[in-house]
Amino acid sequence: MKNRSVIRSSPSALRGNDVSADEKLLQNTDPDWIKEDPWRVARIQAEFIQGFDTLAAMDKLGISIFGSARTPEKSKDYKAARELAKKLAQAGFPILTGGGPGIMEAANRGAQDGGGVSIGLGIELPFEQGMNKYVDVALYFRHFFVRKVMFLKYSTAFVAMPGGFGTMDELFEALCMLQTEKIVSFPIVLFGAEYWSGLVEWIKGQMLAQGMISKGDEDSIVVVDSVYEALEAIFAGLSRLNGGQAL
């Protein structure tokens, strides 16, 4: 995949619908759902093929950066996400985001700043979010679970900036896949100690203390407070995966 090449799947089929494809799939209120659901499998298959075909062209696995779509451009989190993505792009990593505004925009923007590949994996939503203007490779998905597979398959590290339910969903998806050994133990970095410390303390003080997770499961998470610390955590984690060799 060449830097700054623009690849865009068409969003036209995903826009202007009052009911999303995920909602149609998960609800059984339509009297014809028994007939229609088997045909949805073909459309889901097409989403997988589109994603695999496009992202397999990357020169190396990327780094996914998650966070709130509501983060304003002037905030410290936006600036940090942009700077972090720039540094990672300069190190040769493609940057993957959800393609929307806020932190996603910041990370895609940073990827372009660093001369790297800026990838947006958009999702159909009942409220229009749209792809930000700093995305070079834009893919649109109807179903969250297909999109999650793309993030997991084509990433070698996750960075979670402060965010809401969507960020939590992506974070815990990765943690679950690591715990069950469905994916290799790549770095998961939480950026912003003030924001994330309560969650981490709860995981250790409740989940771990009550035996809901095993000792060591909590070690998958690294909390950082600066771009330098994030880079250090990512490179250290990837070095361990690489048998201790420098990247």
Report the pLDDT value the prediction gives residue 40, as an integer from 0 to 100: 80
28-62: pLDDT as tens digits: 555 555 556 677 888 899 999 999 999 999 999 99
Which of these, 239, 9, 237, lies nearest to 119 by C-alpha position?
9
Question: Which token pair is 3?
Answer: 């830097």
On the question of pLDDT at 15 being above 80, the answer is no
State the amino acid at position 5 in one-letter form: S
| 24 band by pLDDT with thresholds 50, 70 and 90 | low
Return the higher-pLDDT residue of 33 and 137: 137
Return the higher-pLDDT residue of 205 and 7: 205
On the question of pLDDT at 237 being above 80, the answer is yes
| 183 band by pLDDT with thresholds 50, 70 and 90 | confident
DSSP, collapsed to helix, strand or coil, labels residue 129 as: coil
Instruction: Quickly list DSSP for 5-47.
Output: --EE---GGGSS-SS-HHHHHH---STTHHHHHHHHHHHHHHH
On the question of pLDDT at 11 being above 60, the answer is no
Question: Which token pair is 178?
Answer: 């690591």
Distances (CA, A) of 95 to 109, 234, 246: 10, 13, 20
On the question of pLDDT at 117 being above 50, the answer is yes
Average pLDDT, integer, range 207-213: 96
Report the pLDDT value the prediction gives residue 31, as an integer from 0 to 100: 54
- Apex 40 CA angle, 37 and 41, nearest 5: 105
Task: Please say whether the beta carbons of 88 and 127 come within 8 A.
Answer: no
CATH code for 23-241?
Answer: 3.40.50.450
On the question of pLDDT at 126 being above 80, the answer is no
Query: Would you give the DSSP letter of residue 214?
Result: -
Q: pTM of the entire structure?
A: 0.85
